[in-house]
Structure 1
Amino acid sequence: MEVGIDFTLESSLSKIVKNRKYMDFLFTEREISSADRLAPGKQGEYYASRFCAKEAAAKALGTGFISKDNIKWKDIEIIGEKGSKPRIELHNNGKSRLKKMGYKNIKLSFSHKDNYVVAIVMVY
């Protein structure tokens, strides 16, 4: 079992949310589409939690985003349908890395408080 954790301020992503090119680099179309359906005041929290969760997942996978395994931001997708707990779906190098580690499962938990977001990811 491996664990990754990350912490961020929602306000630290405010410039990213305004830059579509950077958002396209960090987030999948499905993540962006989900955010677009939210009220503008909720989008910052949404993106901060996804960013934080992706960082935690990359740490749990033992690579971060700069490594020889070359995990990309979009290789880690945070899925959260209304009324269900958010989950991680791995793609491409993220999926390969999990398999290479000998694990099959990845779990996510995150929490919001005021301007803060924390995410914990466990692979097992």
Structure 2
Amino acid sequence: MSFRIGIDIESISDIKTAVEKHSRFLDKVLTESEKKQLSQRKGAAYYEYLASRFSAKESYAKATGFGIGKHVNFTDIEILDDEYGKPAINVFRKSRLINAKNCQVSISHKLKLDLVATEVLIEVEDGNSNS
């Protein structure tokens, strides 16, 4: 068994600026289910949620080594809060890491500092019979 980790930090105000400048930003970054959760947030919480999803998807892409672009789109990765507010990651299509057994995501916000930090940890089966 081995682990892959990806970490990212984003400025919440930079994400807000990107939304204001690019009319299709939400469509490129969020799945329909994520947009539904986003629509339930207002004010600072709206951009905090959006920045956290953007950052968590970047963390996932770093953990897999795929990156965002040629092989993986933002909408191939979905991060939804459960009924307790805990984020869970769901990965679609080609962006799924082969032999991934477990994937965890952690999201931290610091509005005073205008930052969101995320971490993704992926447990991968190595094929080692001792695991």
For the superposition of Structure 1 and Structure 2, which TM-score range results when normalised by the shorter chain? 0.7 to 0.9
Mind listing any 5+ residue stretches in structure 2 that lack a counterpart?
124-131
Shift of the 121–64 alpha-carbon distance from structure 1 to 2, 3 Å rule, reads: same
Q: Whose radius of gyration is greater, 1 or 2?
A: 2
Cα drift, residue 103 of structure 1: 1.9
Q: Give the 5 Å matches for 1:18-97.
A: 18=20, 19-67=22-70, 70-95=71-96
Match of 1:103 in 2: 100
Between the aligned partners of 1:16 and 1:36, the Cα distance in structure 2 is 17
Cα drift, residue 21 of structure 1: 1.3
Match of 1:3 in 2: 5
Alignment coverage as a number of residue pairs: 118
Cα drift, residue 110 of structure 1: 1.3
Contact 1:16–1:23 (Cα < 8 Å) also in 2 = no
Cα drift, residue 66 of structure 1: 3.2
Give the letter aligned to residue 87 of structure 1: A
Taking structure 2 as the reference length, the TM-score comes to 0.83
SS at match of 1:65: coil
Cα drift, residue 22 of structure 1: 1.8
Specify which structure has the higher proportion of helix. Answer: 1
Give the letter aligned to residue 90 of structure 1: V
Mind listing any 5+ residue stretches in structure 1 that lack a counterpart?
none
Match of 1:16 in 2: 18
SS at match of 2:117: strand
Deviation digits for residues 66-120 of structure 1, max 9, x if unmatched? Answer: 34xx11111110111342310110011122xx12xx2221100110112111100
Specify which structure has the higher proportion of strand. Answer: 2
Percent identity, aligned pairs only, is: 33
Give the letter aligned to residue 83 of structure 1: Y
Taking structure 1 as the reference length, the TM-score comes to 0.88
- Could you list the structure 1 runs, at least 4 aligned residues long, displaced by more than 4 angstroms after superposition: none
Between the aligned partners of 1:32 and 1:17, the Cα distance in structure 2 is 13
